């Protein structure tokens, strides 16, 4: 995550403040699940339109498949609302062709509306009622990391130090375990939630092999629960977990470090680059065909 300008900085601060207010969740982690109907309803409260192009963009923001600053589409966060017909062999190619035809010069609401239309028309049947996992943004993840550090008694100074020197994160294994549990990506009882992982990390590319991952996970036999999760995450899921210095040292008393977290081969939101896109689609296809959790 690159944060360069003060604008980013303030949006982070505002984001943190807003998050503290609006995230009302039950259950044993901070994950949020939302359906198309529930976000449409939410967006209707903010915008003076319903079912217009800007409502679609609003849904994209809340479901995390759209972000104006990046201008990229989060395929994984979007495709989970669409169910391809099992007989349809061409839906990926059709969707891809459709996405590529959307002019990037179009104004943001129009652009997102066209992307979503591609999924609706070409990918599969839209499911408006089922609530799905909403991936965390890097800002939310940073907040979760700080909560976990506080829970585990890791001082902000030691995190700052680790970030500055690219050194070892104090209690890294337990910090990562807490970080994963609070995101609903791991639990002692259920293990890793691979589908949510895929969503959170924006896909793993064509190297994604859930069967091999399960075998690898079953093979890790550390007695200590922190070391076990850490090893599974690093060796089986190739998780990247790092803390970086907050870019503005005048404000690092508010946000001591930021967290960098992604899995395997691809980053959270992908660029609309054809080969990456193709790989993502293929990986998505393999996953839905093989994984039953
Ligand atoms: C919504 O927009 C319409 C016309 O575009 C306007 O007449 C109406 O007052 C607006 N309502 C609100 C609540 O802003
Ligand atoms: C999809 O497109 C790729 C590349 O253009 C092609 O190799 C592949 O055969 C197509 N798949 C189907 C099912 O048409
Ligand atoms: C929504 O965007 C499409 C282009 O994607 C445009 O043709 C249409 O007029 C827009 N609708 C509204 C209500 O602005
Ligand atoms: C399991 O661990 C053993 C050694 O501890 C190793 O030889 C083997 O390749 C591992 N299997 C998998 C699937 O990772």
Question: Please, which pLDDT band fits residue 205 given cuts at 50, 70 and 90?
Answer: low
According to the model, what pLDDT value does residue 198 have?
80
According to the model, what pLDDT value does residue 28 have?
67
Q: Report the atom number in ligand 4 closest to the C-alpha of 219.
A: 1
| Closest ligand relative to 217 C-alpha | 4
229 CA distance to ligand 4 middle (Å):
16
How far apart CA 181 and CA 189 sit, in angstroms, is 11
Report the greatest alpha carbon distance in the chain: 58
* Residue 173 beta carbon below 6 angstroms from any ligand 3 atom: no
Bridge partners of 245, per DSSP, are 257
Contacts of 49 by beta carbon, 8 Å cutoff, 6+ apart: 55
How far apart CA 3 and CA 249 sit, in angstroms, is 12
Instruction: Evaluate the CA torsion angle 118, 121, 122, 128 in order and state its sign.
Output: positive
| Closest ligand relative to 279 C-alpha | 2
Q: Which of 122-126, 248-252, 257-261 has the highest mean pLDDT?
A: 122-126
According to the model, what pLDDT value does residue 241 have?
92
Contacts of 84 by beta carbon, 8 Å cutoff, 6+ apart: 91, 123, 124
Position 68 pLDDT exceeds 60: yes
Of residues 16 and 184, more confidently modeled: 184
According to the model, what pLDDT value does residue 78 have?
93
How far apart CA 279 and CA 272 sit, in angstroms, is 12
39 CA distance to ligand 1 middle (Å):
21
| Closest ligand relative to 55 C-alpha | 3
Q: What is the enclosing helix (H) or strand (E) of 287?
A: helix 274-290
Of all protein residues, the one whose alpha carbon is nearest to atom 4 of ligand 3 is 110
Contact indicator for 168, 221 with CB cutoff of 8 Å: no
Q: What is the mean pLDDT of residues 75-103?
A: 94
Q: Are strands 33-34 and 132-133 parallel, antiparallel or unpaired?
A: antiparallel
Q: What is the mean pLDDT of residues 187-216?
A: 81
Pocket mutation for ligand 2, best pick of 90, 93, 274, 276 (most atoms within 8 Å of C-beta): 93
Contact indicator for 146, 134 with CB cutoff of 8 Å: no
* Residue 219 beta carbon below 6 angstroms from any ligand 4 atom: yes
Q: Report the atom number in ligand 3 closest to the C-alpha of 113.
A: 5
Give tens-digit pLDDT for 131-189.
999 999 888 999 999 999 999 999 999 999 999 998 899 999 999 999 999 999 999 99
Contact indicator for 281, 205 with CB cutoff of 8 Å: no
Rounded to 5°, the CA angle 62-65-69 comes to: 90
Of residues 117 and 264, more confidently modeled: 117
% residues pLDDT > 90 (the chain): 53
Position 10 pLDDT exceeds 70: no
- Through-space distance between the first and last CA atoms of the chain, rounded to whole angstroms: 31
Of residues 78 and 285, more confidently modeled: 78
109 CA distance to ligand 3 middle (Å):
8
Q: Report the atom number in ligand 3 closest to the C-alpha of 53.
A: 1
Give tens-digit pLDDT for 18-58.
444 334 444 567 889 999 999 999 999 999 888 899 999 99
Question: Please, which pLDDT band fits residue 279 given cuts at 50, 70 and 90?
Answer: very low
How far apart CA 203 and CA 158 sit, in angstroms, is 32
| 149 closest CA partner among 247, 256, 245, 62 | 256
* Residue 55 beta carbon below 6 angstroms from any ligand 3 atom: no
């Amino acid at each position: 995550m690159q944060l360069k300008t003060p604008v980013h900085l303030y949006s982070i601060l505002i984001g943190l403040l807003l998050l503290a207010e609006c995230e009302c969740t039950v259950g044993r982690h901070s994950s949020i699940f939302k359906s198309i109907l529930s976000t449409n309803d939410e967006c209707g409260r903010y915008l003076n339109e319903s079912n217009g192009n800007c409502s679609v963009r609003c849904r994209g923001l809340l479901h995390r498949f759209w972000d104006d600053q990046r201008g990229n589409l989060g395929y994984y966060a979007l495709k989970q609302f669409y169910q391809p017909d099992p007989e349809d062999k061409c839906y990926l190619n059709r969707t891809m062709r459709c996405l590529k035809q959307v002019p990037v010069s179009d104004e943001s609401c129009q652009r997102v509306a066209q992307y979503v239309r591609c999924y609706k028309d070409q990918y599969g049947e839209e499911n408006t009622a089922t609530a799905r996992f909403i991936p965390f943004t890097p800002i939310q993840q940073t907040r979760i990391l700080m909560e976990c550090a506080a829970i585990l008694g890791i001082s902000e100074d030691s995190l700052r130090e680790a970030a500055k020197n690219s050194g070892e994160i104090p209690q890294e294994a337990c910090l990562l375990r807490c970080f994963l549990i609070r995101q609903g990506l791991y639990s002692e009882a259920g293990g890793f939630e691979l589908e949510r992982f895929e969503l959170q990390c924006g896909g793993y590319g064509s190297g994604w092999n859930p069967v091999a991952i399960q075998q690898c996970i079953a093979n890790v036999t550390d007695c200590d629960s922190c070391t076990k999760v850490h090893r599974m995450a690093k060796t089986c899921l190739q998780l990247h977990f790092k803390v970086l210095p907050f870019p503005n040292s005048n404000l690092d008393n508010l946000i001591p470090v930021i967290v960098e977290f992604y899995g395997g081969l691809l980053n959270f939101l992908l660029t609309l680059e054809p080969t990456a896109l193709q790989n993502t689609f293929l990986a998505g296809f393999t996953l839905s065909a093989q994984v039953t959790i």
